[in-house]
Amino acid sequence: MERVHVQYEKLRDYMARMLEVGLGYPEDVAAVSAEGLVEADARGHASHGVARIMMYTDEVDQGNCDPNGKPEVAHETPISLVVNGNMAPGFAASRFALERTLEKAKRSGTCMTVVRESCHFGMAAFWAEKAADEGMMGVALTNTLKAGIPLFGKERLLGTNPICVAIPTGRSPHFILDMATTTVAIGKIEVQARRGGIMPEGWAVDQNGRDTVDAVAVAETSRFNKSPYGGLLYLGGAGETLGGHKGYGLGLLVELLTAGLSLGTASFDTYEKSSGICHYFQATSLDLFGDRKRIEDHMASILDRITSSSRANGRERIYIHGEKEHERRKQSLKEGVYLDPATWERLDAYADRFGIERLEP
């Protein structure tokens, strides 16, 4: 199957049609969802790209997502919001929340928003970057389905719980740190499962707590909840020697900032009666700290000092977070978005199921 690349706009429009026709997403929700998925593939993160059509279909089929759900404000102050997603698709609930977050931040300098009863919201950077595009520091956090094992435990209780912070520096790209608090995102294990089934040792443990390289088994255990045991390790691994307590602490922090503050569903109870996913967004104007231009220039100079420092033997470059994705996106816009054979097969299967034409490169 040599259908490697597809034009960015063509893929975006195709996914919007697939979501609208196949899942009943309203046109505007389908559009923003498709954009978020294609952005992930364009930046080289297939874990959060168009192959997620399977997850979003499952959310609807299992009654965990209402394509026509309408998010609403449940509580607010001049600098905070609580949003009830009402089981709307994650992109719909997040767009609703972030638009209002930015409005308040422009008036008051900052705004912190929590969302409950949402669904999977895609790549966290998709949201945090929108604040940076407006000249503000952006934060996007989310809990997820239960996938991670607390330090010294064996039961899968917490999510991969990513953290994303985007900071404008007066130039392109922004500084964008987007990371799971587990060693990898569950989506990356799913990618390995689709591409052959083997993953690096140290990403996860099996149901007996032993290291495993079987990506298929771990993906199925997490996705289909086949057992309460086995799953992903947090940054630093299974012990404290390499900092496993730090990764676990970061994952737990995200859980409290999302599910805790929103009075929402914790990861260990997500995808029961609804998806129950919870998010946290924040936008903060750099003007709160002084002259925005001087601050951006100063931060840029800090990053320049890092990237111009001495490199390890055999390394040609020191990267800043967000640079690889920015450069991959530019390449994708020029050459087309790369989709691996397994993703093409998945899109074909869902096109047939939804009764629409198959995508051509």
Q: Are strands 110-118 and 80-84 parallel, antiparallel or unpaired?
A: parallel
pLDDT for residue 1 is more than 60:
no
Q: How large is the average pLDDT for residues 86-109? A: 98
Which residue is it, tokens 């195709």?
A: 14
Closest by CA position to 255, among listed 157, 136, 110:
157
Contact 197, 350 (CB under 8 A): no
Q: Any idea of the CA torsion for 15, 137, 163, 143, to the nearest 10 degrees?
A: -70
The mean of the pLDDT values for the chain is 95
The residue with greater pLDDT, 128 or 274, is: 128
The pLDDT, as a whole number, for residue 244 is 93
| DSSP one-letter string for 250-305 | HHHHHHIIIIIHHT---GGGTTSSS--EEEEEEEEEGGGGS-HHHHHHHHHHHHHH
At 155-203, the pLDDT tens digits run 999 999 999 999 999 999 999 999 999 998 887 888 888 887 889 888 8
Enter the pTM of the model: 0.94
Residue pair 156/148 in contact by the 8 Å Cβ criterion: yes
Interacting residues of 205 by C-beta distance below 8 A, sequence separation 6+:
149, 211, 212, 230, 231, 233, 238
Q: Which residue has the higher pLDDT, 90 or 230?
A: 90
Please give the Cα distance from 43 to 27 (Å, whole number): 24
Residue 151, C-beta contacts closer than 8 angstroms, at least 6 positions apart: 234, 238, 239, 240, 244, 245, 248
Q: What is the pLDDT of residues 294-303, one digit of tens each?
A: 999 999 999 9
Distance of CA 207 to the CA centre of its chain: 26
pLDDT (0 to 100) of residue 158 = 96
**Alpha-helix runs per DSSP H in the chain:** 8-23, 27-42, 53-61, 90-108, 124-133, 186-194, 215-224, 244-255, 261-262, 292-307, 323-335, 341-354
238 token code pair: 């299974």
Q: Write the CB contacts of 334 (distance below 8 Å, at least 6 apart in sequence).
A: none
pLDDT tens per residue, range 301-319: 999 999 999 999 999 999 9
**Which domains does the chain show, CATH number per domain?**
5-287 (3.30.1370.60)
Region of 209 on the Ramachandran plot (φ > 0 left; ψ -120 to 50 alpha; else beta): left
- Position 354 scores a pLDDT of 98
Cα distances from 196 to residues 189, 193, 199, 343, in angstroms, run: 11, 6, 9, 13
Mean pLDDT of the 1-22 span: 92
Decide if 49 contacts 32 (C-beta within 8 A): no
Strand partners, 118: 277
Model pLDDT, residue 3: 67
pLDDT at 274 over 90: no
Rama region for 97: left / alpha / beta (φ>0; ψ in -120 to 50; rest): alpha
